[in-house]
């Protein structure tokens, strides 16, 4: 494989991830029930916290996966051997990247739960599901062929970029309204 071919594979994967994310958001938003009236901040934050349950569960399963691979070999002491197989090295990288992504996701989902107009709150569970699906696709892709992680990465990155961007604008607008 050449660098040009690898770049094309990654670009195609990112494009598929972006398009898939948009299709999933639009489809599910069209079919899921919408929030019909304004809800309290407590209810909004409750929804945000509920949307964290499955992403955190996936993260916990990744931790268990890595931990279970340490039993009975040199990597039981990670100060001497971080990973004893290539698969474990990949799992550690996925775990690290998912930790980074989960931090962004958690802050983002809580900010969006407080800042979004109530009519769009049904996007939050969709975001949670897309995040989990993206992380699983990232993990499976990484284990099969490192270049195939791109669709999963795109699925967890595109909503994060949009959500953080929206939250920044909403916070700035609120700050200028009070001045």
> Residues with Cβ < 8 Å from 14, sequence gap 6 or more?
150, 151, 153, 154
- What's the CA gap between 68 and 71, in Å, rounded? 6
Share of the chain above pLDDT 70, in %: 99
Average pLDDT over residues 93-117: 97
**Global model pTM greater than 0.85:** yes
Q: Which domains does the chain have, with CATH numbers?
A: 3-177 (1.20.120.550)
pLDDT at 135: 97
């Amino acid at each position: 494989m050449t660098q040009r071919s690898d770049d094309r594979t990654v670009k195609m994967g990112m494009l598929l991830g972006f398009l898939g994310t948009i299709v999933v958001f639009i489809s599910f938003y069209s079919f899921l029930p919408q929030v019909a009236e304004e809800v309290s901040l407590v209810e909004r934050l409750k929804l945000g916290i509920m949307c964290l349950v499955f992403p955190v569960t996936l993260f916990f399963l990744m931790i268990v996966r890595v931990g279970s691979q340490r039993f009975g070999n040199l990597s039981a002491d990670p100060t001497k051997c971080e990973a004893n197989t290539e698969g474990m090295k990949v799992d550690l990288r996925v775990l690290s990247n998912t930790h980074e992504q989960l931090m962004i996701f958690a802050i983002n989902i809580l900010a969006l739960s407080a800042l979004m107009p109530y009519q769009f709150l049904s996007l939050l569970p969709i975001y949670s599901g897309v995040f989990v699906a993206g992380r699983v696709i990232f993990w499976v892709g990484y284990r099969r062929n490192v270049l195939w992680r791109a669709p999963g990465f795109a699925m967890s990155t595109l909503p994060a970029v949009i959500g953080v961007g929206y939250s920044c604008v909403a916070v700035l607008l609120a700050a200028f309204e009070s001045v």
